Amino acid sequence: MKISIIGTGYVGLVTGVSLALQGHNVVCIGRNKKKIARINEGKSPFYEPMINRLLKKVVNKSFLLATDIFEKNIITSDITIVAVGTPTVNNKIDLTDIKKISVQIGKTLKKSKKYHVVVIKSTVIPTTTENIVLPILKKYSGKNVPAFGLCMNPEFLREGNAIEDALNPDRIVIGQYDKKSGKKLAEVYKNLSCPKIFTTLTTAEMIKYTANSLFATLISYSNEIARICQTIGNIDVVDVWGGVHLDNRLSPIINKKRITPGFIHYLSSGCGYGGSCFPKDTKALYAYAESIGINGQILKSVIQTNKTQPLQMISLLKRAMKTVSGKKITILGLSFKPQTDDIRESAAIPIIESLIKQKANITVHDPIARLIDPKLLEKVKIASDIKEALYNADAVLVLTAWDQYKKLIPKDFLSSMKNAIVVDGRRIYDKEYFISCGVIYEGIGLG
């Protein structure tokens, strides 16, 4: 099947590579010529494990081509998958790109003679596909379903594991306007054996928000528990979670083996969730709920707790040193989680901004991610390796659980830093061992 994908970001390109590997003829339509040229050389514009090797493979075999030629490619393909960004602006979803692309697709459908299915893969608030995309497609094409098809197909890939998730999804949700549209989209995924559920367009949209908001809620709940622990003496949230996780209802014993379900990972405390999805999706759902008269109290608290959680790192730092003014503070980790270069809404950003305001001298390190904001760049020093980052530092804040950081031992901090103050934002170190070696150890949820 020939498939056009609009948007060459994390979702668009990973989906493109995955579908090309499944034997489809994929055209990734982007706007940035430099990015397009890079993709056609088999080089991903962003970091993601495995992507370059697999991209090169499908490009070399001509299963995937990147281009900025829109109309011809849409007309000659069977399906168009829309994977453009849907950012949150002023705490509400911004559908500008979705609307623009719907106009462009509508105009193209007008000229197309064959049946074509439009698939919204971007995360959009409930009713968007039916009440915004469809009317635009109808207006500019002069046609209606079933002359063309319309689906909403939310994406559940996780950055850092995106290729694996796209090739082995846990489920595929096909929101269909009519059965013909859904049947055509199901053909795209015919080689994937996971459960496929067929729903209305709006249900598909809601599944995505419900899933993301649930995980964000677990994280903010865990962080609220951490704050309570931090305020009491002689308590550690890590031990609290250890005791909670062993509940058979959370981690059941099956065939004498304890199973640790994936969601347990979200029931642990840290310096806050980030990335391109949880922060923007919780805000968009909250705003949407309000707009239809629902007081989203839980969502509101989840968002508020997450907004203030990164600054807990500064409070912890101040338990160990009275002032940060004039001190060399090292930040280990910029990306919102390991295995990605994505720093969107990363906890590192508000922490760095706050430390700058308090006149600290900041050095940052990340194995992959880079700061892009010029205002921050001119005020921080970038270290090329961990040793350089730690040298002569008065304190270090560990914000991302990269393997390189997990492997550090007390000697690494004690031998390089002026004062071995370690504030562990992801609770990756053995507290007792670090303290026994002479490190001044602070961590999220440590009372």
* Residues designated as active site: 277
Rounded distance between C-alpha atoms, residue 62 and residue 58, angstroms: 6
Q: Closest separation between CB of residue 241 and ligand NAD, Å?
A: 25
Q: Closest separation between CB of residue 284 and ligand NAD, Å?
A: 9
> Distances from the Cα of 21 to the Cαs of 55, 78, 245, in angstroms?
9, 18, 38
- Sorted by sequence, the CB contacts under 8 Å of residue 25 that are 6+ apart come out as 1, 2, 3, 63
Rounded distance between C-alpha atoms, residue 178 and residue 183, angstroms: 9
Q: Do 387 and 359 contact (CB within 8 A), yes or no? A: no
146 upstream amide cis, omega within 30 of 0 = yes
Q: Do 221 and 228 contact (CB within 8 A), yes or no? A: no
Buried b (16+ CB within 10 A) or exposed e, 197-228: ebbebbebbbbbbeebbebbbbbbbbbebbbe
- Sorted by sequence, the CB contacts under 8 Å of residue 371 that are 6+ apart come out as 334, 343, 352, 364, 377, 380, 382
Cβ nearer to ligand NAD, comparing 165 with 224: 165
Rounded distance between C-alpha atoms, residue 320 and residue 332, angstroms: 18
Q: Closest separation between CB of residue 175 and ligand NAD, Å?
A: 14
Cβ nearer to ligand NAD, comparing 103 with 147: 103
Q: Do 403 and 430 contact (CB within 8 A), yes or no? A: no
Nearest partner of 129 among 196, 70, 200, 216, judged by Cα = 200
Q: Closest separation between CB of residue 275 and ligand NAD, Å?
A: 7
Cβ nearer to ligand NAD, comparing 58 with 229: 58
Q: Closest separation between CB of residue 100 and ligand NAD, Å?
A: 5
Site residues, ligand NAD (CB under 6 A): 6-12, 29-31, 83-86, 97, 100-101, 122-123, 155, 157, 159, 276-277
Cβ nearer to ligand NAD, comparing 211 with 356: 211
Cβ nearer to ligand NAD, comparing 54 with 444: 54
Cβ nearer to ligand NAD, comparing 94 with 388: 94
Q: Closest separation between CB of residue 88 and ligand NAD, Å?
A: 9
